[in-house]
Structure 1
Amino acid sequence: MTSALASLAAALNTPAPWLLPYARVARNVLAAAKSDSVADALNAAGEGAVRFVEQAALPDGEPYESFIARTACVPTRDNLHDLFNGLIWLSYPKTKRCLNAIHAQEIAARGGAVGARGPLRDALTLFDENAAILQAPPTLVESLRLRDWKALFIDHRTEWESARLALFGHALLEKLMQPRKAITAHVWLIEDLTDDAIASSLARARLAAKDFLPMPVLGVPGWWPDNENPAFYDDADVFRVPR
């Protein structure tokens, strides 16, 4: 078993709250693993919207997103970053397909060079790598918009019981394998956390406007023991006030 698969297995012994939405599919992947290949383990876990292939399958010069759109195959390395990407593909296939389709359309229209990316592709990448999807009561949404951390995490703490939060970004999940207080998600507000609803929310105009709200994820009640102490939120380098 590769270090990536072994690290995920160890994390699932006592899964952190942010891993719980992926625990079932992750355990299926681990149970299906017959070799050191992350791609093979993901494929063996069940039929998905795409097939996972070794990184070497990506032709020189072809953009990653274009290759996925053309072949329905995802180049996958044997590391945690790509393992989490695979778990997101298995959990939210319609959303991932939608993100990929917009990427591919933009590459076809603008080219794949770094300088040709534009604000829409930058936002797509930000969503893919670091988004958290939040459905929450209006008081929490307003507090988050205002970056009123005291109201969000202390005054309205009990309202988090009515909220639903899922970390979508695979880079975000990878970073949380070694939790640090400053790890911040880009929150995407939504009314429903189903795959269909998230995919439907990916309007080009909203994405290009980078309609994200920053939130230090370890501040979420129940997600980190230290945040039981209100002084946890006094760290102005993490819980920053609006400019």
Structure 2
Amino acid sequence: MGAGFADIDWARPWLAPIEPRGRRWQAAALAGHAEYLAALNEDAVRAALVTGRGKPLAFIAQEELPAGASYEAHIAQTGRVPTRHNLHDFFNGLMWFAYPRIKAALNARQAAQIDALGIGPTRGGVRDALTLFDENAVLFACADATLADALRGFGWRALFITERAAWGTRCEARLFGHALLEKLVAPYKACTGHAWIVDVPADYFTLDDTARRALVDEAVSARIAAEPLDSRGFAPLPVLGVPGWWDANASPDFYDDTSVFRPGRRVRR
């Protein structure tokens, strides 16, 4: 059996931004599906969350999704998010509260793609990129272009060893993808996210967590709404390499594992 609600370890540093609400939802989920949905909907009403098309957000049981209906289109048209009683949808719901503008922008663009192209056997490049973002994205907030370049160029020693002190002062990682969060309930070294680089001002790192999340939420949602998107816009980031996130990475030898910290793609001559 896979991990369940009782297995969430809120001491994990990547869960800190969502811990207070997450603990409440966890207790409700352990009580039952009805109690869990009630907790989500109570919070949604209080927060006045809306979709990208302005529909008030609500959470419903998966069985209430009409037969043949598209998940993304249903949310856009009704505001109702089909939600199963599992960790995958638990973290999906938490991201609607942590980054409501990003989630709304992703859903609006997914729905627009479905409106334009319909539901086919393949999603297409834009929908693939949107789904990848929703499921596996890491928001890499960065005030130093050299660090972003190191990430893009697979410069792991520069990013994690030479510039280790930059984490928390010039760059940070914020988990967004709900499938990635689900995987990290049972962490393993090779767990890798798709990093989306977010340029932030230097004073970003003087802000508290709420203000940082709001800034990232606004900046990223604007880009999702306006920019061309494809899967090549992401950079791989082995998340347990983030300083402070895993005890073993205090040793530089941790990063010598080339099956995880790969040297990058060779350019063909």
Report if TM-score (shorter chain) is over 0.5: yes
Which residue of 20, 24, 29 maps to 2:25? Answer: 29
Partner of 1:135: 141
Partner of 1:126: 132
Task: Name the amino acid aligned to 2:40.
Answer: L
What is the count of residue pairs matched by the alignment?
A: 236
Q: Does 1:216 align with 2:238?
A: yes
Supply the distance in 1 between the matched residues of 2:231 and 2:185 (Cα, whole angstroms).
30
Which residue of 12, 19, 37 maps to 1:39? Answer: 37
The one-character-per-residue Cα deviations of 1:171-212 (angstroms, maximum 9, x if unpaired) are: 000000010110111001113443212211215544225311
Distance 1:134-1:237 versus aligned 2 partners, 3 A rule: same
Which runs of 5 or more structure 1 residues have no equivalent in the other structure? none
Task: Name the amino acid aligned to 1:25.
Answer: R
Supply the distance in 1 between the matched residues of 2:155 and 2:256 (Cα, whole angstroms).
12
The one-character-per-residue Cα deviations of 1:63-87 (angstroms, maximum 9, x if unpaired) are: 1001001110000000000000000
Task: Name the amino acid aligned to 2:247.
Answer: P
Which residue of 70, 76, 92 maps to 2:83? Answer: 76
Partner of 1:144: 151
Which residue of 188, 211, 222 maps to 1:180? Answer: 188
Give % identity: 47
Supply the distance in 2 between the matched residues of 1:164 and 1:157 (Cα, whole angstroms).
11
Counterpart of 1:18 in 2: which secondary structure? helix
Q: Does 1:235 align with 2:257?
A: yes
Contact 2:128 2:231 in 1 (8 A): no
Q: Does 1:164 align with 2:172?
A: yes
Contact 2:5 2:30 in 1 (8 A): no
Deviates more, 1:17-26 or 1:177-186: 17-26
Supply the distance in 2 between the matched residues of 1:46 and 1:34 (Cα, whole angstroms).
20
Which runs of 5 or more structure 2 residues have no equivalent in the other structure? 51-56, 201-212
Contact 1:134 1:164 in 2 (8 A): yes
Contact 2:72 2:111 in 1 (8 A): yes
When the two chains are superposed, the root-mean-square deviation of aligned CA atoms in Å is: 1.9
Partner of 2:206: none
Deviation at 1:33, TM superposition (A): 6.0
Contact 2:173 2:242 in 1 (8 A): no
* 1:2-13 equivalence runs, <5 A: 4-8=4-8, 11-12=9-10
Contact 2:44 2:58 in 1 (8 A): no
Contact 1:120 1:204 in 2 (8 A): no
Supply the distance in 1 between the matched residues of 2:167 and 2:96 (Cα, whole angstroms).
27
Partner of 2:160: 153
Task: Name the amino acid aligned to 1:104.
Answer: A
Distance 1:179-1:143 versus aligned 2 partners, 3 A rule: same
Distance 1:206-1:153 versus aligned 2 partners, 3 A rule: farther
Supply the distance in 2 between the matched residues of 1:76 and 1:183 (Cα, whole angstroms).
25
Counterpart of 1:161 in 2: which secondary structure? coil
